[in-house]
Structure 1
Amino acid sequence: MALDILAARPWPALLDLPWRLPLEEWPEDILAALPRGISRHVVRFVRVEGRVVAVKEIKDDIARREYNMLRNLRRLDQPAVEPIGVIAGRLTRDGEPLDGCLLTRHLQFSLPYRAMLSQTLRPDTAQRLIDALAVLLVRLHLTGFFWGDVSLSNTLFKRSAGEFAAYLVDAETGELHNTLSDGQREHDLEIALVNIAGELMDLQAGGLLNDEVDAVAVAERIMDRYRVLWQELTAVERFDADERWRVDERIRVLNSLGFDVGELDITTDFDGTTIQIQPKVVDAGHHSRRLLRLTGLDVEDNQARRLLNDLDSYRAANDRQNDDEELVAHDWLMQIYEPITRSAPPEMRRKMEPAELFHEVLEHRWYMSEKAHRDFSIEDAMRDYVATVLPGKPDDSAVVGVDTDAIPVRAHR
């Protein structure tokens, strides 16, 4: 069999996979026990040389198009899964044609929404997932990407300092433009509303979401959250010339939302009495980029914000405000961050990313201090967290035993 392989980089081990078999017949011994979201196509997770690869069976031409779209989104620094390659020209041992396969790298510590909601989580988890999806949609629209099939099912979620970060996992219907019209953006929002409401109703039918939850009302949250964020990022603001401090205030608001301002369009009236300001180039990741520059830690933006706050507290507590920022960050990394994240028992360390573990310990220290009305060291907080909280935390590296395919699915798409 002469396979047609399109790949970002050579990976000979891919040739060892059973491409002559339909994906649903692949043997269990090569599959990874990870939860799968709902998909129109057969999807399996496969272990290849210690890495986990998601394999989706799909028509050859559609697989190539989605592969190229995902590569473009990655080049634009958008939150999307990493494409590995496309396998086309598949035939069974009897010579019958098989669909091609799109290969993407599994996003470590990420979960589909059905697995997220199958665990014992706070009642507002569904709303927080939708908030994360709204942020993702704004980012994609700012780039000129029309999704065409916005849904929780086409998204993966990672915990990020008590919130969630969303990643696009299915770009099959996507289109990349220079800019999007208001009509295109509203169309994506309408698709999101219908899909999310249906998905939440499916969860209720499967007993994973309280029947008292208004699925339509929760789904409508994406419309509100999206519009608030879009307005904050793109609105033109006018103010008097003696209020120039509002330029800095606008940037601070955008930064607090996790966006960095790359360029501002500032114009004044002929007589100089008023100033008009509009962010022109915006991108998410302001905090994560700063943390990466200072420490080499590549984490989610909410996590980075929390870690940077602790770094700033360390700097102040040690009276090092006048020291070089990179040197202080190196000392914080060596003396605080790494000793804490490595002190968890090995069997528990795999439950979450180190940055999320560190955030959890900071939260735990705050609760301890509030309850006792005194300060605790981060080492004390870590010991108490390991003893009382960490054992009961879900394992985000692999949720085993959650068969999301077994939950009834209502036809809504």
Structure 2
Amino acid sequence: MALQISATNPEHPARLLDLPWNTLLEQWPEKCLVPLPRGISRHVVRFASAGPEVVAVKEITERAAVREFGLLRDLHRLRIPAVEALAVVTGRTATDGEDIESALVTRHLKGSLPYRSMFESTMRPSTVKRLMDALAVLLVRLHLAGFAWGDCSLSNALFRRDAGAYAAYLVDAETGELHEDLSRGQREYDIELARMNIAGELMDLEASGALHPSIDPVPFGAAIVGRYEELWHELTRESVYPLDKRHYIDRRVRNLNDLGFDVAEMRIESSPQGDTVRFLPKVVDAGHHQRQLLRLTGLDAEENQARRLLGDLESWMATQDDYAPGDPLGARPEVLAHRWVRDVFRPTVRAVPRELRGDTDTAQIYHEVLEHRWYLSEQAGEDVGLDATVKDYVTHVLPRSQAATGAASRRDEDDDEV
């Protein structure tokens, strides 16, 4: 059987052809390899140069390579944090005619480290906790997408610093399965495996002297279960709010943002009596809000602004008589969004005197008004409405902002003179 390279990009086969596929991976010459830290794996894994990029090569059976290749591509399509599959290499034969196992090729995740490399210098308990939090977030994201990992562990993930926290990426999908939805039993199986695997891995670190003496492996392994359950509950619970308590929805979205999740769509349904709103958030990839807001309203805003504006749009749509999701007789979202821009967004922005806006763009003005509305509503215990909010914003907030801006400008001028 001739050598075959099945790749996601037409450029990759040519780049990979120069690698010594007729040699067992563990025998590849140093000139082909890139000295990067490797984690523990059931299979032989090496980092190699392929043209301008670094790739990870894993030697496994053809069936396993093709299957994992497909799963990693699915996760990439779903925008789940995972290594990117580049190619599957089959038909490998040694110079003596002996068959060699196939290989899965993935792109090296820049800036990432396996967990053992991170423990080379003893990590503080608070840092280890952030590592566990990152793995819990990854597991929740996988389960929301319908992916049962089947072998969640520190060894099967890579970690990258993300400001003061860590981000975890799936690196081994060999045991995974993708479904429409996961049952509670499938999720609990993954969680229990994670608990046992992590406790075992921390025990190995403890035995080697690489674990902080204050860390007990078993409680730390169990802690991921609580973190996972907290995240899952907050992301999937359905809430019912009184119609005049719209700021409760804002509070819920803020909580989700604080947990590190973006809320793209909100399934909001009004009760037949019109006195309550049912709310269920959906989590999505970064940048979704900008694209969604531009598509629906034509407004071009920054991501945080767009998130806030879309939240207001969704809440407002739920109050409209002709809003009926899934009903062909109901108004389409684009129609309602156009009405929201005409009847809500523009009048609100125009109510803020132009001379007080300065150089602030309209999306930011509306965002600040919504922030102030949330603050006033929290104080009052009920939704105060946009009209009252704008008046208070113009009277009390903007003058302070102008004064602060003026003071900053004067300080800049003084600095320039110096």
Return the TM-score normalized by structure 1. Answer: 0.69
8 A Cα contact 2:266 2:280, kept in partner: yes
Cα deviation code 1:29-50 (max 9, x no counterpart): 2111110001000000001223
Structure-2 residue corresponding to 1:197: 199
Identity among equivalent positions (%) equals 54
Give the distance between the partners of 2:118 and 2:290, measured in 1 at CA: 27
- 2:151 matched to 1:149? yes
Give the distance between the partners of 2:147 and 2:97, measured in 1 at CA: 39
Give the distance between the partners of 2:72 and 2:358, measured in 1 at CA: 44
Equivalent position SS for 1:124: helix
Give the distance between the partners of 2:22 and 2:46, measured in 1 at CA: 15
Cα deviation code 1:289-332 (max 9, x no counterpart): 79xx9899xxxxxxxxxxxxxxxxxxxxxx96614779xxxxxx
Give the gaps of 5 or more residues in structure 2.
292-299, 304-356, 365-410, 413-418
Cα deviation code 1:183-216 (max 9, x no counterpart): 1111110110111111111111111103442101
Q: 1:214 is matched by which residue type in structure 2?
A: D
8 A Cα contact 1:260 1:286, kept in partner: no
Structure-2 residue corresponding to 1:225: 227
Q: 2:269 is matched by which residue type in structure 1?
A: T
Cα deviation code 1:135-155 (max 9, x no counterpart): 011111111111001011000
Instruction: Give the deviation of 1:252 after TM superposition.
Output: 1.9
CA gap 1:103/1:320 in 2 versus in 1, 3 angstroms: farther
Structure-1 residue corresponding to 2:79: 77
Structure-2 residue corresponding to 1:283: 284
Report the structure number with the largest CA radius of gyration. Answer: 2
Give the distance between the partners of 2:244 and 2:201, measured in 1 at CA: 51
8 A Cα contact 1:259 1:285, kept in partner: no
Structure-2 residue corresponding to 1:64: 66
Return the TM-score normalized by structure 2. Answer: 0.68
Higher normalized contact order (CA 8 Å, seq sep 6+, divided by chain length): 1
Give the distance between the partners of 2:87 and 2:270, measured in 1 at CA: 50
For these two proteins, the number of residue pairs brought into alignment is 303
Cα deviation code 1:242-266 (max 9, x no counterpart): 2121112212222222222222222
Q: Residue 126 of structure 1 is aligned with which of 125, 128, 138?
A: 128
Equivalent position SS for 1:53: strand
Q: 1:25 is matched by which residue type in structure 2?
A: Q
Structure-1 residue corresponding to 2:188: 186
Q: Residue 274 of structure 2 is aligned with which of 269, 272, 275?
A: 272
CA gap 1:140/1:289 in 2 versus in 1, 3 angstroms: farther
Structure-2 residue corresponding to 1:245: 247
CA gap 1:323/1:276 in 2 versus in 1, 3 angstroms: closer
Give the distance between the partners of 2:241 and 2:102, measured in 1 at CA: 57
Give the distance between the partners of 1:41 and 1:134, measured in 2 at CA: 25
Which stretch of the first structure deviates more once superposed, 209-218 or 158-167?
Answer: 209-218
Give the distance between the partners of 1:197 and 1:99, measured in 2 at CA: 32
Structure-2 residue corresponding to 1:216: 218
Equivalent position SS for 1:69: helix
Give the gaps of 5 or more residues in structure 1.
297-318, 327-375, 378-413
Give the distance between the partners of 1:325 and 1:209, measured in 2 at CA: 49
Structure-1 residue corresponding to 2:111: 109
Q: 2:138 is matched by which residue type in structure 1?
A: L
